[in-house]
Amino acid sequence: MADNLAEPSKSALKKAEKQAKMAAEKAAKAAKQAAMPIVGGKKADDIIGITVSKADNFPMWYQEVVLKAEMIEYYSEISGFFILRPSSMYIWNTIRNWFQERIEAMDVEEASFPMFLSSKSLEKEKDHVEGFAPELAWVTKAGDKDLEVPVAVRPTSEAVMYPYYSKWIRSHRDLPLRLNQWNSVVRWEAKQTTPFLRAREFLWQEGHTAHLTEALAGEEVLQILELYAGVYEQLLAVPVVRGRKTEKEKFAGGYYTTTVEGYIPSNGRGIQGATSHCLGQNFSKMFDITVEDPAPKTEGAEKAPPIHVWQNSWGLSTRVIGVMVMIHGDDKGLVLPPRISKLQVVIIPVGINKKTTPEDKTKHYDQLQELKATLKKEGVRVDYDIRDGYTPAWKFNDWELKGVPLRLEYGPRDAEQQQVSWARRDTGEKGTMKIESIGSEIPALLEKIQSDMYHKAEAAFREHRLVINKWDEVVPALDAKNVVLIPSCLSEMCEDEIKNSTASKSEAPEGLAEMKAPSMGMKSLCIPFMQPEGIVKGETKCLNPKCTAMAEKWCMFGRSY
Amino acid sequence: MADNLAEPSKSALKKAEKQAKMAAEKAAKAAKQAAMPIVGGKKADDIIGITVSKADNFPMWYQEVVLKAEMIEYYSEISGFFILRPSSMYIWNTIRNWFQERIEAMDVEEASFPMFLSSKSLEKEKDHVEGFAPELAWVTKAGDKDLEVPVAVRPTSEAVMYPYYSKWIRSHRDLPLRLNQWNSVVRWEAKQTTPFLRAREFLWQEGHTAHLTEALAGEEVLQILELYAGVYEQLLAVPVVRGRKTEKEKFAGGYYTTTVEGYIPSNGRGIQGATSHCLGQNFSKMFDITVEDPAPKTEGAEKAPPIHVWQNSWGLSTRVIGVMVMIHGDDKGLVLPPRISKLQVVIIPVGINKKTTPEDKTKHYDQLQELKATLKKEGVRVDYDIRDGYTPAWKFNDWELKGVPLRLEYGPRDAEQQQVSWARRDTGEKGTMKIESIGSEIPALLEKIQSDMYHKAEAAFREHRLVINKWDEVVPALDAKNVVLIPSCLSEMCEDEIKNSTASKSEAPEGLAEMKAPSMGMKSLCIPFMQPEGIVKGETKCLNPKCTAMAEKWCMFGRSY
C-alpha cells in the first residue's frame, strides 16, 4: 500500500497533482468535443469516473474527487486559490445556518469589519502577529498610485476588531460583547495547498467576545466547542475528540485553546477540526480594553483598579468539508451524509428503451413526477434524471460520483408491482419499497444512512485511538495508522523531542505537510477532556524515554495534517 | 436653508466631517469617564442626541445618525472603510434572506470565487476594466517577498468568473448557468466616501448568469429588477422608479442596464438603487463562452457556427441601507421600518420611583415580562428596558435615536387600567391599548407603520417627479428639489450638454459628489418603464434647446448621488 511507501519527493507530488489536473481538463475538453448527447454513454463512462483508488493514492484520489464531483475548481490564474462550486456552498450554508441559529440563541451578534489592517495596528500585538507575518498579503498600490501606508489583507481579525472593543466597552454593562462575522481571510501559505484543507483564501466564521470574568469566558469557550463538535457529528457524520491543546500547539498570544480533533482512516493521520480559544487578558492588555470594577466598594477602601476584560475567539472554516470528503468518500467518488447533501435522493428511470412507445414513456415520466412530489412533500430534497441519450448505468455512475446518498430506480416492472428499487450510496445495499410507503420510509432511510455513516467513522476512530503505556509500541502503532494516547508531561521541549524521535530518518523537505506519507514525526493533537484511567500524579512517568518528568495527563499524539 | 447655500468648499466639508467624528469620540470618552450609571440621565441626554437638524445640514445629520444609532463605526486605521455594526447587519441579513429565497426559487445557485484577479485576466476585457482600473487595490507582496505577478482585489467578478463559464458551459444543456455570490468588493475610490453610499469596501451580492437566447436573458433581467424593487418597497419602505439606463449611464461593457432609482426628499437628489444588466454577447465573445446550436440541422446544410451565450449580471449592495436612513430618519435620529428592524417594540417601565416598594417593583417587572412573552409569541421582535439609573425620558431618547418603530410605556396606572401606552417612532402619534388585545393589535400596528412609511415616502417622490415640457422650467424645478421627466433624444452628447447647461457656475472641484449641495448639473437617472403620454415619434423635439434631434422617450433627469 502506498501509505507504507517511502516519502514521495516534492517534484513527484507536484507531478501527480499536475497529472490529476491535466486529466480533468482533458476530460472536460473531450466531453465538449463529443458534442453531447453521447448515445450509449460508454465514452462518458471512461471520462467521469475516478481513476485512482483511495487506498493506492490517497492524495490524488482526494483531488480527483473534489474536482470531478464538482465541489471545487482550481483557480488556475493564481495558485493556491480554489473556487467553491454550488455543491460545496450548499454544505457550507447548511453548516452556517445551523451554527448561526445556535449562536444567535446565545446572543452573539453579527458584524462586518474591513478586510484590511494597517501596519500600525499590527505593531500593537507583535507576539500574536509574528506567526502570521510571512503569510500576509500586502496591498501597496491603488490604481497606479503607491499607498502612503501599505495595508495587509486580514489573516484573522483580532488586530482589526479589538481597537473598537476598547472604544465600545465603557462599562461592565457593555459585557458580554459577542460579535461574529462570516467572511474570508487570506494567508499566503508557502506550503503546498490542498482544496478545503489548506488554501490561501478560505471562508470561515470568526467569533470574538469579551467577558467580565475568566469563568464566564471559559463557559462560552466550551459552549462553542460543543457546537463545533455538533457540526462534525450531527451534520457531517464525522466523529471528533474534544480536548485542549498543549502549550506548544495553542493559539499564539492566547491563554488556552480547546479543539475538536478528527481522524483520517486512510492514512491514520489526525486533523484539527476547529478551535475555540480563551485569549485571557492578553489582548485586552495590548488593546486597553477595560471596565471599572463593578464590585461594591468597601467603605474607606481605595478605588479598585480597572479590570481588563477576558476575551475569547473561535473559528470554523470550510476545512470541515475536506475532512468529511476524506472520511466518507470511496473509489466511486464522493459520499455525502444526507443532512448536508443538496440532493438527497435521485430517481432514475430504467427499462425505457427504443421499444417503449411515446405514450408509455410519457406515462412513466408522469409517475416519476408523482414520486418526486410525494417525497418533496415530506421535506426530502429530491430530483429525477430524465436526461436523454444517457444510459441508466451512466447516470448511476454520475450520481455516485457526486455522492447523492440514495438512488431510486423506477422501471415499468416496478410500476407494475407498485414499488421502487433503491440503492444506498454509502454501503451499496439495495432493496425495494412499496410506493405507498415511500413518504415515511425514505426519510427514515435517509436518517439511517446518516446515523450509519457516523457510526462507521466513529468505530474506525475508536479502534485506531490506542492507549499506550510502552514507548516501543508508539511508532509501530503510528505505522499501523493509529493515533495514540500516552502519559505526557505536556512540556514544549518534550513535545519537540517526541516529534524528532518518532520521525523516520528519510524525512522530506519542509513545506509538504499535506502530501506527506505518514513517516513524519508525531505531534500532540490534544489533551482529551475524557481521560483514560491510570495516571497517578507524582508516580506515573512521562512516556518519552528521554524525559525525566512526571506525567500530567494522557495526551493524544499522532501524525497529522 | 442650507440646501440653497452656495457649494461648500472641500476643506469646509472635511472639517465638518472631522467635527462630527470628534464630537462622537468626545461623547464616548465622556460617557466612559462618567462611570455609568448616570443618575437622572440629564448628562447623557446631552451626549446621545443628534446635534444638527436634517433640514439644516443634511450630510452632517446623516453622519451623526449612522454613527450614534450604532449602525456604523468609522475605521480610523484606513480611511474610506467602515465597520457595519449589528443593527446594520441585521438589516442586511434580512434583505439577504429575502432575496436568497427568491433567487433560489429561480434556480440560481451559490458559489464562491477568489477575491483576487490576475493582471492576465484583466487584459482580456480591457473595455470593461478601464473604468475600474484607477480604483484597483494591488497586492504586490506576500510576507516580505514580492509577488512575481501582482494581483488585484476584485472590484466586481466578471474577470474572475467568466473563464470558468467558458470551461463549464459545454453544451446548451448546461444553460442557463446561474450563479450568485455574497461577498465584499474593493474599489479604492478617490472620491469622498460616505457610510453605506460610497465606501472603499462594501458588501453586495453579484449574480452572473448565462442563457441561450437574448429573450431568456432579458426575461431574467426584469425578474431580478423586480426583486430589487421589492427589497426597497416591501422591506425598506422606499419607493423606486424602474427603468433603463441611457447609453451614457449603462454598465461599461454591457448591452443594456436596468435600474431602480430612488429619491432623497431632503436635497431633491436622485440615487441609483440597484442595477440588473444584460451583458449581451460582449463578454461571451471576449471569454469564448459558446455552445453548439441546438436547432435541428436542415439536411445538407452546413454545420451551424457555435452560439455565444447571452449573459446577465446584477448586484445589490449595502447602499440600500443608506438610502433607507436618508429617507426615513428625522431630527431625533434613525427611523426604521418594522420589517427590517432587529427590535420592533421596546417596552419601557414608567412611574417607578423612589417611593415604589421593592415588592411593587418586582411585581411590575414581572408584568413587563408577561407583556414581552405575549408579543414574542405573536412573532414580534420585542424587548424591555429595565436598565437602572436611567430616567424613562433618557430611555425614550435612546430608543428613538436607534429608530425602534414602536415604544410601549407601562406604569402602575396603566397596570390598574389593564392597558399599555404606545408611541409610534415614525409619526410620534400616541395612544393606549388594552392588554388583552396587544397580541393582535401590535402586529397590525407594526404593519400599518410599515405601510404608512412607504406611502409617505412614495407621495414625496411622486410630488417631486415633475413632467416638464419647457426647458426654462427645468433648473427652477431642480432648485425646488425635484427630479424631472423630459422628452429626450437619449444621445450621449446631448446628455453631456444637459449636464453642463444645468450646472451652476460656481461648481465645486471634482471628487465631492456625496457632499455637493444641489447646484451640480443634472444627469439622466433612467428611462422609466412607465412612460407618461405626450411624445409623438418624429414630432416631439428633444427638450434640450441646443439639441436638434427628435425625442425618443421621456427620460428622468436629476441632480444625483
Q: Note the pLDDT tens digit of each residue in A176-228.
A: 999 999 999 999 988 899 999 999 999 999 999 999 999 999 999 999 999 99
Yes or no, beta carbons of B134 and A112 under 8 Å apart: no
B192 HSE (CA, 13 A, CB side):
22
How high is the mean pLDDT in each 10-residue block of chain B (561 residues)?
Answer: 38 54 56 41 54 96 97 95 97 98 98 93 71 92 94 95 96 96 95 95 98 98 98 98 97 94 97 98 95 79 88 98 98 98 97 91 95 97 94 96 98 95 98 97 98 98 97 96 98 96 65 54 97 94 96 97 91
For testing contact with chain A, the best of B138, B151, B158, B395 (most A CBs within 10 A): B138
**What distance in Å separates residue A182's CA from the closest CA in chain B?**
10
Q: Compare A46 and B545 and report the one with higher pLDDT.
A: B545
- Tell me the pLDDT of chain A averaged across its residues: 90
**Amino acid of residue B212:** L
Q: How far is B545 from chain A (nearest CA, A)?
A: 39
* Interface with B, mutate which of A81, A95, A118, A170 (most B CBs under 10 A): A170
pLDDT digits (tens, 9 = 90+) for A134-172: 999 999 999 999 999 999 999 999 999 999 999 999 999
For B349, the 3-state DSSP assignment is strand
Task: Tell me the three cell numbers of residue A378.
Answer: 415530506
Q: What is the mean pLDDT of residues A536-558?
A: 96
Phi-psi region of B350 (alpha: psi -120 to 50; beta: other; left: phi over 0): beta
Rounded Cα gap, residues B453 and B443, in angstroms:
15
Contact residues on chain B for A170, CB-CB shorter than 8 A: 28, 31-32, 36
- Could you tell me which chain B residue has the CA closest to the CA of A152? B139
Q: What is the DSSP string of B221-280?
A: HHHHHHHHHHIIIIIS----EEEE--TTTSPTT-SEEEEEEEEETTTTEEEEEEEEEEEE
The count of other CB atoms within 10 Å of the CB of residue B403 is: 26
Chain B: closest CA distance from residue A33 (Å):
8
Q: Is the pLDDT of residue A326 over 80?
A: yes
Q: How many CB pairs under 8 A join A and B?
A: 160
Tell me which of A25, A26, A32 to substitute to probe the interface with B (most B C-beta atoms closer than 10 Å): A32
What is the least distance, in Å, from the CA of B181 to any CA of chain A?
10
pTM equals: 0.90
> Considering only A128-132, A284-288, A353-357, A363-367, which range has the smallest mean pLDDT?
A128-132
Residue A42 scores a pLDDT above 70: no
Asked whether the CA dihedral A112, A118, A120, A125 is positive or negative, the reply is positive
Ramachandran quadrant class, B383 (left: phi over 0; alpha: psi -120 to 50; beta: rest): beta
Contact between chains at A113 and B75 (C-beta distance less than 8 A) = yes
Instruction: Give the best residue of B68, B78, B84 to mutate against chain A (max A CB count within 10 A).
Output: B78
Task: Tell me if B35 and A171 make a contact (CB, 8 A cut-off).
Answer: yes
- Pairwise CA distance, residues B267 & B451, whole Å: 23
Span A241-250, mean pLDDT?
A: 97
Residue A130 confidence (pLDDT):
74
Q: Are B276 and B525 a contacting pair, CB within 8 Å? A: no
Q: For residues A474-495, b (16+ Cβ closer than 10 Å) or e, as one string?
A: bbebbeebbbbbbbbbbbeebb
pLDDT band at A27 (very low <50, low <70, confident <90, very high): low
- Secondary structure class of A322 (helix, strand, coil): helix
Whole-number Å distance between alpha carbons of B240 and B234: 11
* Nearest-CB residue to A110 (from B86, B143, B150): B86
Indicate the SS3 state at residue B557.
strand
Beta strands in A297-413 (DSSP E): 307-308, 310-317, 345-349, 382-384, 406-410
The pLDDT of residue A304: 82
Residue A234: per-residue pLDDT = 98
B-chain CB neighbours of A78 within 8 Å are 114, 116, 118, 151
In angstroms, what separates the C-alpha of B278 from chain A's closest C-alpha? 23
How far is A16 from chain B, CA to nearest CA, in Å?
22
Handedness of CA B215, B221, B223, B226 (dihedral sign): negative
Task: Give the 3-state secondary structure of residue A44.
Answer: helix
The verdict on a CB contact (< 8 Å) between B170 and A84 is: no
Kindly report the backbone phi and psi dihedral angles of residue A213, in degrees, each rounded to the nearest multiple of 5, phi listed first: -130, 160
Which band of pLDDT confidence, cut at 50, 70 and 90, is reported for residue A504?
Answer: confident
**Which among A73, A81, A110 has CB closest to B93?**
A110
CB B323 within 8 A of CB B261: no
Q: Which amino acid is at B97?
A: N
Per-residue pLDDT, B33: 46
Alpha carbon of B75: minimum distance to chain A alpha carbons (Å): 8
Q: Which pLDDT value is given to residue A48?
A: 67
- What pLDDT shows up at residue B422? 98
Closest residue of chain A to B82, computed from CA coordinates: A114
What's the pLDDT at B43?
42
Q: Strand A137-142 vs strand A145-153: parallel, antiparallel, or unpaired?
A: antiparallel
Minimal C-alpha gap between B549 and chain A (Å): 39
Chain B CB contacts of A76 under 8 Å are 163
A86–B141: do the CB atoms touch at under 8 Å? no
C-alpha grid cell, residue A353: 428503451
Lowest mean pLDDT among A17-21, A232-236, A306-310: A17-21
Q: CA angle, corner A275, sides to A57 and A277, nearest 5?
A: 155
Indicate the residue of A140, A160, A170 with minimum beta-carbon distance to B140. A140
B113/A83 CB distance under 8 A = yes
Side-chain half-sphere CA neighbours of B442 within 13 A: 30
In angstroms, the Cα distances linking B328 to B265, B458, B460 are 10, 11, 11
User: Which pLDDT belongs to residue A295?
Assistant: 81
Query: CA-to-CA distance for A102 and A108, rounded, in angstroms?
Result: 9
CA dihedral of A232, A238, A239, A241, whole degrees rounded to 10: -50
Q: Cα separation of A406 and A449, whole Å?
A: 9
CA distances from B123 to A226, B119, B137 (A): 48, 6, 16
B35–A186 CB contact, under 8 Å? no
- Per-residue DSSP letters for B127-170? HHHHTTGGG-EEEEEETTEEEEEEEEE-SSSHHHHHHHHHHH--
Give the model's pLDDT for residue A23: 56
CB within 8 Å: B387 and A140: no
What is the rounded CA–CA span in Å between residue B422 and residue B309? 57
On chain A, the residues whose CB falls within 8 A of the CB of B183 are: 184
Q: What is the mean pLDDT of residues A549-553?
A: 97
Min Cα distance A273 → chain B (Å) is 22
Strands (E) across B256-342 are located at: 256-264, 269-280, 290-291, 307-308, 310-317
Chosen from B139, B171, B186, B208 to mutate, greatest number of chain A CBs within 10 A: B139
Residue A191's pLDDT is: 87
- Determine, for residues A143 and B136 on separate chains, whether the beta-carbon distance falls below 8 Å: yes
Q: Which of B35, B138, B292 is closest, CB to CB, to A141?
A: B138
Task: Give the DSSP H or E segment for A419.
Answer: strand A419-424
Check residue A26 and give its pLDDT: 57
Which of B315, B327, B268, B325 has the alpha carbon at shortest distance from B477?
Answer: B268
* Residues 6+ away with beta carbon under 8 Å from A217: A209, A211, A278, A280, A310, A311, A312
Side-chain half-sphere exposure of A331, counting CA atoms within 13 A: 8
Nearest alpha carbon to residue A324 among A44, A27, A65, A36: A65
